[in-house]
């Protein structure tokens, strides 16, 4: 039975204190470059014709049942540690919301859809390269079991844009993402900044009911705030554990880039690491390494501390600190579970995992042990390790500093069926380093060749199917 679209207007019903009405840009062209039927199917939009798709996701005409114009969401945030009260949706807006058959609420948010009241002199546009990069990030993270927004649509819009960080003029695009909320830590920060305690309580009830599925959304404001804060801490900590295992560097973990549901989104200068260097940064402007690969958990905890401060009128400082102390436990639990999942083993002792991560972070670069290859080479544990070490390819793992890793992993029990998966993974060893991203874009930029991108997406999805990533995240 076909899943029928069920548009809702939940965020609009919060009222004008939470958004400004936006006007979509008028573009000279609309060329459909990517439509994500896998993500569209969940909310019943996969049977749209291409013409309808462009109408809704390129021209941003209102879907039947959506009662509002586009909503530019209001929020503040800390950017590289400095509070900025002059933020908000500057080149995007909330287009619509849909309920899926499991009653999960999904937002359709745009990027590059035109100027809003928060554009701060920007042109409100997105480069086509930026859209392609976001698509690649979300597809690979999904395959690796990381909760992320899904790139629903990319439509090239026929404008020439000037940018400082890529050769210009460059092509323009409008992107639509499907995300489980666009409510940020910075959304709560803004309300606290203006002492809008009634609106904080309203937002708490909205989030608790619509995203956390709690029947306590009618509880006292104190209980509500504590339950919400604890759930958000757990979800973000869990995402951080998975991000580290995936080898992903977001690049700009400002508080306005944290979704309170724990879903990773708002992709800019991201990277996947080649070697497990804790100091590796993704953003050329991150001069002090604030958001380096190894600093990401600390950045998340810092951001959650700011969320806790936004709730200080609803609960005690002591309780906020108690809840923040749950971050470390949940991060390490997630790190352990996801490490085992990606390596195809049943379990690992926490102290052994700490030893392995320490060695990876300190030895992989100097010994040229590729982070992604490590998980493919040793998938399934003992048998794979023995086979790998028998041949010349595995000689890189025989260095003295790495012997403890192989000794530990030889003793771990593999998943049922991991040997079959190991064979399939060897045929599908996908990674997504910056050189490959640039080559994919070069084919598009110079030759208008989209086949390389489409082939990469199919291979990333094949990887996700082998790993059965849908069993660990809902996308």
> How many angstroms separate the CA atoms of 136 and 15, rounded?
35
**Do 270 and 243 touch, CB atoms closer than 8 A?**
no
The C-alpha angle 17, 21, 23, rounded to 5 degrees, equals 160
Residue 344: helix, strand or coil by DSSP?
coil
CB under 8 Å to 102, separation ≥6 — which residues? none
Q: Tell me how far the alpha carbon of residue 238 is from its chain's centroid.
A: 12
Given the residues 89, 107, 227, 256, the one annotated as active site: 256
**Kind and range of the H or E element at 31?**
strand 31-35
> How many angstroms separate the CA atoms of 52 and 68, rounded?
19
**Kind and range of the H or E element at 48?**
none
> How many angstroms separate the CA atoms of 234 and 334, rounded?
10
Q: With CA atoms as reference, report the closest residue to 186 among 268, 108, 106, 79.
A: 79
Per the annotation, the verdict on 123 as an active-site residue is no
Return the CA Rg of the chain: 22
By the 10 Å C-beta count (0-12 exposed, 13-18 middle, 19+ buried), 46 is classed as middle
> How many angstroms separate the CA atoms of 341 and 263, rounded?
19
**Do 180 and 106 touch, CB atoms closer than 8 A?**
yes
Secondary structure percentages of the chain, helix, strand, coil, to 5:
50, 15, 40
234-239-241-242 Cα dihedral, nearest 10 degrees: 150
Residue 99 pairs with which residues in a beta bridge?
Answer: 105
> How many angstroms separate the CA atoms of 285 and 402, rounded?
34
Q: Which residues are catalytic?
A: 256
């Amino acid at each position: 039975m076909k899943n029928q679209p069920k548009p809702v207007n939940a965020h609009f019903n919060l009222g004008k204190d939470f958004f400004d009405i936006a006007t979509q840009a008028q573009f000279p062209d609309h060329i459909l470059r990517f439509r994500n039927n896998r993500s569209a199917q969940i909310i019943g939009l996969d049977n749209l014709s291409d013409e309808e798709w462009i109408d809704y996701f390129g021209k941003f005409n209102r879907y039947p049942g959506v009662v509002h114009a586009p909503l530019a969401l209001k929020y503040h945030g800390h950017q590289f540690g400095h509070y900025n009260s002059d933020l908000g949706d500057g080149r995007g807006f909330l287009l619509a919301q849909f309920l899926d058959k499991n009653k999960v609420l999904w937002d359709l948010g745009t990027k590059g859809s035109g100027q809003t009241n928060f554009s701060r002199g920007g042109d409100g546009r997105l480069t086509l390269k930026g859209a392609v990069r976001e698509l690649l990030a979300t597809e690979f993270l999904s395959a690796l079991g990381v909760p992320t927004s899904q790139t629903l649509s990319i439509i090239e819009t026929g404008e020439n844009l000037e940018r400082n960080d890529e050769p210009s003029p460059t092509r323009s695009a409008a992107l639509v993402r499907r995300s489980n909320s666009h409510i940020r830590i910075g959304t709560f920060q803004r309300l606290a900044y203006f002492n809008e305690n009634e609106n904080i309580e309203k937002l708490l009830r909205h989030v608790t009911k619509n995203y956390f599925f709690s029947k306590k959304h009618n509880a006292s404001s104190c209980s509500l705030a504590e339950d919400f804060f604890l759930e958000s801490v757990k979800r973000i900590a869990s995402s951080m554990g998975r991000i580290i295992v995936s080898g992903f560097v977001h690049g700009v973990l400002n508080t306005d880039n944290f979704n309170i549901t724990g879903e990773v989104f708002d992709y800019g200068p991201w990277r996947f690491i080649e070697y497990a260097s804790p100091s590796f940064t993704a953003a050329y402007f991150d001069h002090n390494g604030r958001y380096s690969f190894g600093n990401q958990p600390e950045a998340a905890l810092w951001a959650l501390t700011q969320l806790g401060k936004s709730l200080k009128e609803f609960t005690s400082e002591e309780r906020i600190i108690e809840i923040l102390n749950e971050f470390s436990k949940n991060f390490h639990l997630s790190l352990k579970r996801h490490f085992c999942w990606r390596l195809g083993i049943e379990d690992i002792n926490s102290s052994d995992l700490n030893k392995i991560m320490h060695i990876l972070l300190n030895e992989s670069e100097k010994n040229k042990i590729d982070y992604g290859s490590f998980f493919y080479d040793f998938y399934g544990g003992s048998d794979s390790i023995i086979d790998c070490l028998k041949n010349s390819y595995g000689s890189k793992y025989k260095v003295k500093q790495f012997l403890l890793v192989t000794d530990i992993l030889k003793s771990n029990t593999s998943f049922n069926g991991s040997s079959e998966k190991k064979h399939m993974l060897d045929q599908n060893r996908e990674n997504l380093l910056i050189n490959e991203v640039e080559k994919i874009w070069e084919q598009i930029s110079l030759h208008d060749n989209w086949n390389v991108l489409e082939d990469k997406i199919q291979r990333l999805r094949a990887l996700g199917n082998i790993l059965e990533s849908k069993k660990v995240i809902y996308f």
